[in-house]
């Protein structure tokens, strides 16, 4: 997942898409569809934004792969099989990245 995510970050479309809270699209017949990001960090008011992709499969459980920029450093974080995805992210970034969220 890390390798795929880092490759995707090279594309400006992807970098902009993962920063959006909402996006309105239209079907071919003109129906309006409002999409909402599942990345709760975008809505939570944390001190730093972590942009990324949420996911779920039975095998991997609740997942997230994302990126955080801090003082010129780009950190990539991935969590899998979490029962508290957002809490795990906070603890990992704080403990191993030295960044208060």
pLDDT score, position 27: 96
Average pLDDT, the chain: 92
Q: Tell me the pTM.
A: 0.83
DSSP label of 29: T
Residue 98 scores a pLDDT above 90: no
Between CA 84 and CA 25 the distance in angstroms is 31
Region of 65 on the Ramachandran plot (φ > 0 left; ψ -120 to 50 alpha; else beta): beta
* Whether 67 contacts 74, CB under 8 Å: yes
* Whether 35 contacts 25, CB under 8 Å: yes
Q: Is 88 helix (H, G, I), strand (E, B) or coil?
A: helix
pLDDT score, position 99: 85
Q: Which domains does the chain have, with CATH numbers?
A: 2-97 (3.40.710.10)
Question: Six-digit token pair at 61?
Answer: 């459980």
């Amino acid at each position: 997942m890390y390798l795929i995510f880092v490759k995707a970050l090279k594309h400006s479309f992807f970098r902009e898409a993962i920063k959006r809270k909402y996006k309105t699209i239209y079907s071919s017949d003109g129906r309006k569809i409002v999409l909402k990001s599942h990345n709760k960090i975008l809505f939570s008011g944390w001190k730093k934004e972590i942009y990324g992709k949420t996911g779920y499969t039975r095998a991997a459980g609740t997942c997230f792969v994302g990126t955080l920029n801090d003082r010129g450093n780009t950190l990539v974080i991935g969590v899998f099989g979490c029962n508290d995805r957002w809490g795990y992210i906070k603890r990992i970034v704080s403990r191993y990245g030295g960044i208060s969220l």
